[in-house]
Amino acid sequence: MNPIQHHFIGQCTCLSLSPASTVLPASAPVPVPVSGAPSHSSPAPSPADKPAKSRAEQKAERRARQEADRASKQQSCSSSSKTKAPPSELNPVVKRLPEHVQVDDPAVVKRLAKKLERQQIPLRSDYGYKVSLFSHLHQYSRKAPLTQQLSIPSTVIHPSIVRLGLQYSQGIVVGSNARSVALLHAFKQVIRDYTTPPNEELARDLVNKLKPYISFLNQCRPLSASMGNAIKYIKKEISNIPSHFKEEEAKTKLQTCIDRYINENVVLAAKAISKYAIEKINLTSVILSDRTWKKFRVIVVDSRPRLEGREALRRLVQRGISCTYVLISALSYILPEVSKVFLGAHALLANGYVMSRVGTSQIALVARTFNVPVLVCCETYKFCERVQTDSFVSNELDDPDDLMVTRKGKTQLENWHDVSSLGLLNLVYDVTPPDFVDLVITDLGMIPCTSVPVVLRVKNLEQ
């Protein structure tokens, strides 16, 4: 039986929030998300021009440069500092915020533009008026996909990656699992078509080849936590290829690694989760001819603009389960009839917060008020080391034009661009505190929300 998951999507139209002081100052010590692309604070080596320096040498050079910069900066503003502490104590290694949450800082945007130029990837421009609370995030339009600005055939980016990027930005491939699996399949294709250039080592060169692809995909649509973990895994596998492996051997090994990763973390995990979840669905069982039937009813809660719940509804009805379909505005009306709430998750953060489709925290909150247990189903590969306490700091803004709806021939809001003070906000994710979640069902078993760091630790030990 498939795990029963509710899909929720943002329905935010126009938020009339006063600009609160919750906008993150740029220097706050937020731990850097460990997902693939944004961790490049150094220039990526331009393809095949320079002789390949070893990674240690590059790092040492970078360090020396940073120290020199810091030392010169220290001297220039020494008048303001009272005590002359040595530079290394005054400047602990500041973890940089990822650029995708600093869009309103022009210096960061310039830095990103330079990096993309070096990698020969077009920069995607923002679209439409952004609500001030979220002005630090990107907001793209679906009508202007990044691929329009690429030359065909693109010499830098592999065609399967171009296709994948288009599928992401047009919303053809949606959902955390689907995106990760598609990404891994595209990488398999890339590896198949890859040939090691002369005087290069596969382990290092392939990783460097993947960097512009990841930047490109990030431009098409910001990477999800699961994709970040998958990319980390692949990079680790590639760099661990022993140097004596021939190219064919290495490529086959990588393909098998990817297949195994998908099998273990997505396919088998889903089976394990459904096995545990079934124990929690314990109502009157009705013996029906030769099979035991668990008699229960499912209420699918859905919300605009994505209406992803319809797909779940279709699958449940095909299985013969009696279902009810409501929109999220009817939540408090139906909750008294509900015995348990099952939610899916996009990612689980290290402080126990659940990041999921917008609307999830609303459901968890109302369910808590009605004393209905809330269960979150999430595979362990979606656990990430990030910490987040609110939905503003790091989120995704979808195309605001999605909120326009045409009914009976009339489209409200179709001239929203003309109204200068009007902003449309189409949030994708929100963050639910662990107090509202009773249980998390993972492929390792049932754990409380606060035990996410334990699982991360156990997984790190295994590796």
Partner 1 sequence: MFHLVEKLVEYFRTQMRTDPDMASAVAAIRTLLEFLRRDKGETILGLRESLKWATDCLTEVDSSVAVSSGGELFLRFISLTSLEHQDLSRCKKVMEERGELFLEKISLSRTKVAKLCHTFIKDGAKILTHSSSRVVLRVLEKAAAEKKRFTVYVTESQPDTAGKQMADALRRINVPVTVVLDAAVGYVLEKVDLVIVGAEGVVESGGIINKIGTYQMAVCSKAHNKPFYVVAESFKFVRLYPLNQQDVPDRFKYKADTLRTVSDLSDEHPMIDYTPPSLITLLFTDLGVLTPSAVSDELIKLYL
Helix, strand, or coil (residue 56): helix
Site for partner 1 in 260-289 (CB under 8 A): 280, 282
What the block records as the tokens of 323 is 């279902």
Please tell me whether residue 350 binds partner 1 under the rule CB under 8 A: no
CB of residue 370 vs partner 1: minimum separation in angstroms? 12
Residue 340 or 382 with smaller CB distance to partner 1? 340
Considering CB under 8 A, how many residues would be counted as binding partner 1? 16
Please tell me whether residue 385 binds partner 1 under the rule CB under 8 A: no
Burial of 376 (0-12, 13-18, 19+ CB in 10 A): buried
Binding mask 69-108 for partner 1 (x = CB under 8 A): ----------------------------------------
Among 150, 241, 375, 427, binds partner 1 (CB under 8 A): 375
CB of residue 44 vs partner 1: minimum separation in angstroms? 40
Please tell me whether residue 373 binds partner 1 under the rule CB under 8 A: yes
For tokens 């299985």, name the residue.
319
CB of residue 371 vs partner 1: minimum separation in angstroms? 8
Residue 33 or 352 with smaller CB distance to partner 1? 352
Please tell me whether residue 458 binds partner 1 under the rule CB under 8 A: yes
CB of residue 438 vs partner 1: minimum separation in angstroms? 6
DSSP E strand boundaries for 231-377 = 285-288, 291-294, 297-302, 322-327, 341-344, 347-348, 354-357, 374-377
Of 240-248, 308-316, 358-366, 441-449: span binding partner 1 (CB under 8 A): 441-449
Of 142-150, 204-212, 398-406, 448-456: span binding partner 1 (CB under 8 A): 448-456
What the block records as the tokens of 214 is 């990841």
Among 6, 100, 124, 340, binds partner 1 (CB under 8 A): 340
Residue 159 or 373 with smaller CB distance to partner 1? 373
Residue 90 or 458 with smaller CB distance to partner 1? 458
- Cα separations in angstroms, 413 against 14, 72, 125, 308, 407: 11, 53, 23, 23, 12
CB of residue 335 vs partner 1: minimum separation in angstroms? 15
Among 52, 404, 446, 456, binds partner 1 (CB under 8 A): 446
Please tell me the distance from the alpha carbon of residue 17 to that of residue 429, in angstroms, as a whole number: 18
- Cα separations in angstroms, 165 against 160, 161, 221, 409, 457: 9, 6, 7, 33, 33
Of 3-11, 94-102, 385-393, 440-448: span binding partner 1 (CB under 8 A): 440-448
Of 32-40, 342-350, 424-432, 450-458: span binding partner 1 (CB under 8 A): 450-458
Residue 145 or 373 with smaller CB distance to partner 1? 373
β partners of residue 357: 429
Burial of 112 (0-12, 13-18, 19+ CB in 10 A): buried
CB of residue 6 vs partner 1: minimum separation in angstroms? 17
Distance of CA 162 to the CA centre of its chain: 19
Please tell me whether residue 439 binds partner 1 under the rule CB under 8 A: yes
Q: Which residues have a Cβ under 8 Å from the Cβ of 388 and sit 6 or more positions away? A: 349, 351, 353, 355, 394, 431
Residue 267 or 283 with smaller CB distance to partner 1? 283
Binding mask 419-438 for partner 1 (x = CB under 8 A): -------------------x
For tokens 């973990």, name the residue.
229
Site for partner 1 in 13-72 (CB under 8 A): none
CB of residue 376 vs partner 1: minimum separation in angstroms? 13
**Closest C-alpha among 315, 316, 312 to residue 303:** 312
Residue 51 or 336 with smaller CB distance to partner 1? 336
Residue 415 or 450 with smaller CB distance to partner 1? 450
- Cα separations in angstroms, 320 against 280, 294, 313, 314, 323: 20, 12, 11, 10, 9
Element containing residue 332 per DSSP (H, E): helix 331-334
- Cα separations in angstroms, 340 against 61, 296, 324, 358, 437: 56, 11, 15, 20, 11
Q: List interacting residues with partner 1 (CB under 8 A).
A: 280, 282, 340, 373, 375, 438-439, 445-448, 450-451, 454-455, 458
